[in-house]
Amino acid sequence: MWWAILGAAAGCYLLKLAGLSIPAGVLQRPLVERIADLIPVALLAALVAVQVFARGTHLTLDARAAGLAVAVIALLLRAPFLVVVVAAALTAALLRLAT
């Protein structure tokens, strides 16, 4: 188990370092630039979806969805980041308390 932990940790670090170390010239290509722009959008959207609607390998609709809905409302009202996050958590916690 220790070898797997240390090996995977070393590999994950090298993957991070590789990204930072690849010459800047690579990013000057329009294709790479466009993809690099799109990646955070796609990943953040996927992270939102998976964090809220997945439990393990199942899709579920639970208190987290209500938290997300409140987060959307808070964002539409231009609430600051922390307010959005706390509102989402509070909504889910209270809903679970009530049910």
- H-assigned helices in 1-80: 2-21, 30-53, 63-76
By CB under 8 A, tell whether 93 contacts another protein.
Answer: yes
- Choosing from 41, 61, 98, 99, the residue that interacts with another protein (CB under 8 A) is 41
By the rule CB under 8 A, 77 interacts with another protein: no
Residue 54 DSSP SS3? strand
Given the structure tokens 């409140």, which residue do they identify? 70
The binder of another protein chosen from 75, 77, 98, 99 (CB under 8 A):
75
19 binds another protein (CB under 8 A): yes
DSSP structural state of residue 58: E
